[in-house]
Amino acid sequence: MEHVAVTGMGVVSPLGSSIDAFWRGLMNGTSAIGPMHNRERVSGNGFWAAVPDDFVGGAQLPAGALRNTDRFTQYAMVAASAALAQASLDPPAERTAVIVGNTMGGFPLVAETQSRYLDGGGHVVTPKLMALVIPNMANALIAMHWKLHGPSLAISTACASSLDAIGLASGMIERGTIDAAIAGGSETLLSPIVYESLVRAGALSRNPDPARASRPFDLDRDGFVMGDGAAILVLERAERAAQRGATILARIRGYGSLADAYHITSPDPSGEYEVRAMRAALDDAGAAAQRSVVYAHATGTIVGDAAEARAIDALYAEQPPIVTSIKGHLGHSMASSGAMCAIAAIVGMHESRVPPTIGTQRIDPAARFDLVMSQAREHAYSSFQVNAFGFGGQNASLVVTR
């Protein structure tokens, strides 16, 4: 890819709902992992990383939008608003795509409504329930709010969703189908039902110390920690962005996405198809890619981290890269995690710094790369690779440059 520019970024995260707060938390090694509500009723350690309770979409959204949106849509709209403001873009109505990834839409609201229904009957069920919770409402409400008539798509490829959204949007810009896109992911799966299911599946960490519950690439890792939030990028055709005097923050250079077709929850332990996705992104980027920093998916699961470590080591065998993971700060925000990593990496590229991997104390010796530990590292880099791998064998990777 040669023609896709990033001109705006917005985030709603457990570390804060601004790029500055998000980045400051990453640099300071701040963990947002803490006790969930009603933790006495669930198995496991009862930890997750939630967007703070004082998040109020209404501070940035009109009352009508607030009444007709679920929390995952509000996250996406607030992040999109911030991204468009940074881009100083009035998006072209017919030539702008809105592509937002998520996993289960507004499932927590469905679960809460079911509980109230069993207690109180049908009158507690809003007639807007389906319209509030279906996965396409994040992209639909963004399109409605900004009066956009280009492609409006919801992507659901599990934890790879936001990278797939960015990759798909970038391809459309590269082909000339559209001039701009609002792309990323939004997630609000912090439901006790989802939590309990993942505990019973053995996917979540049971470590009783919140500072050690999420341990990417740690020898003693035992599962991930749930998180939520949204991350949205504004993408434009680079020539158009330059013509209007926009600040180009980065360029999307390469994208790879494929299925390992192995298991519904576990990745192929060989890492073969993660290597293929990463190589596809690097091949797409061509000479623009300089193999310097990898922002790993690395959620802290036993099999998942091992497969990714094998993939990174195999692909970068001749020159082991600097690697980091931000899951120790934020938990795993699933569909939005890839875009959150991309935003962190773009800011880090401009500041010549790489966030630390926190929570990890003993690096798995099978990982032969240079993992940034404990504190942020000064490092100048002009390109990076972001990985996102998900249930169902979804493998996505993105290469981005200055």
Catalytic residue set: 159, 297, 332
Looking at the chain, the number of H-run helices and the number of E-run strands are 14, 15
Residues in the chain: 402
Beta bridge mates, 394? 259, 390
Kind plus residue range of the DSSP H or E element containing 42: none
Q: Other C-beta atoms within 10 Å of 102: how many?
A: 31
Using CA atoms, how far apart are residues 233 and 8, in angstroms rounded to an integer? 6
Under 8 Å between Cβ of 8 and 84:
yes
Which residue reads 């600040």 in tokens?
247
Kind plus residue range of the DSSP H or E element containing 354: strand 353-354
DSSP at 301: -
Q: Which residues of 18-32 are buried (b: 16+ CB within 10 A; e: fewer)?
A: ebeebbebbbebbbb
Burial class (CB in 10 A: 0-12, 13-18, 19+), 39: middle
In terms of phi and psi (left: phi > 0; alpha: psi -120 to 50; beta: otherwise), the region of 339 is: alpha
Burial class (CB in 10 A: 0-12, 13-18, 19+), 209: exposed
